[in-house]
Amino acid sequence: MSERTPMIEMCNVSKHFGSVIALSDISVQVHSGEVMCLLGDNGAGKSTLIKTLSGVHRPTHGEIRLNGEPARFKSPAYALDAGIATVFQDLAMIPLMSITRNFFMGREPTVGWGPLKRIDWKLADRIAKQEMGKIGIDVRDPSQPVGTLSGGERQCVAIARAVYFGAKVLILDEPTSALGVKQASVVLRYIAKARADGLAVIFITHNVHHAYPVADAFILLKRGGSLGTFRKEDITREEVLNMMAGGAELESLDAELAEFQRSDTERADADTSGVRPRLAAGQ
């Protein structure tokens, strides 16, 4: 794996917003046919990292490489043209518009030319239905509003759209955060399929139970810095959970709570022992 050229790579990337250091010296490598899970709590720097990769932000220091070549994206459109597709949490979808219109979103197939040029809705509907069918979602009517789909199915529309338009790198921002178990399983199944199709997938989440089944490697972020990159075969689910939760902090919290409980017990015992003599005197 290490001998191959990574499809996308961050080399010692830092991002500053004035005096605020959002990312500090981050290095990530993701190969084709691999799922890299980016883990971290709120405020860890996950959103800044994916926005830097997708062309929203430019690195303050460091370099981004795409298939071994240095890449500088002026905007998300340049990153998309280079094959980096990002599916954000809000999905950039319009609920009242059809599945087909959301699937193509300004890139609809056309027929005719000049003033007679028009959208080929029959072809567009057929493609949308076929692409959703490839991931196991049977869309009876692609002209139905996308808002009628479940959360997991809407995620799959966004992912299928990115894959259909030639994404080489697929970045998923918390795709399972607001989903139930069944809907999350649909998304995770398609992430595995995208890996099998040869895409380099970056899966951002704070849910280790969703990340561990599909991941090939993990990078853990904390306060803008990296706690390290780990191959799945080298780390257990429990070790990942412990690192995310902060093992030392949890041990300190357990000791502190135990001390509170001990103090409360001693205070209750002291109050009880002081009440009994007064009751006896009253009798």
The 3-state secondary structure of 77-123 reads: HHHHHCCEEEECCCCCCCCCCEHHHHHHCCCCCEECCHHHCEECHHH
Q: DSSP character for 5?
A: P
The answer to whether residue 267 sits within a structural domain is no
For the segment 248-271, what is each residue's pLDDT rounded down to a tens digit?
554 565 666 776 677 767 777 666
91: in domain? yes
Backbone φ and ψ of 86, nearest 5°: -115, 130
Bridge partner list, 35 = 201
Going by pLDDT thresholds of 50, 70 and 90, the confidence category of residue 166 is confident
> How confident is the model at residue 74, as a pLDDT?
85
What is the total count of domains within the chain?
A: 1
30, pLDDT greater than 80: yes
What mean pLDDT is predicted for residues 36-44? 84
CATH number of the domain where residue 25 is located = 3.40.50.300
Range of the structural domain that residue 113 is part of? 8-235
Share of the chain above pLDDT 70, in %: 86
Residue 281 belongs to a domain: no
Element (H, E) at 17: strand 8-17
Share of the chain above pLDDT 90, in %: 20
176-189 pLDDT, tens digit per residue, is 877 777 778 878 88
Q: What is the pTM of this model?
A: 0.77
Contact yes or no for 63/27 (Cβ under 8 A): no
> Is 72 within the bounds of a domain?
yes
Burial of 121 (0-12, 13-18, 19+ CB in 10 A): middle
Residue 109 lies in a domain: yes
Quote the pLDDT of residue 65.
92
- How far is Cα 101 from Cα 94, in angstroms, rounded to an integer? 9
Q: Determine the Cα–Cα distance for residues 276 and 2; give it in Å rounded to an integer.
A: 74
Nearest to 206 by CA among 22, 1, 45: 45
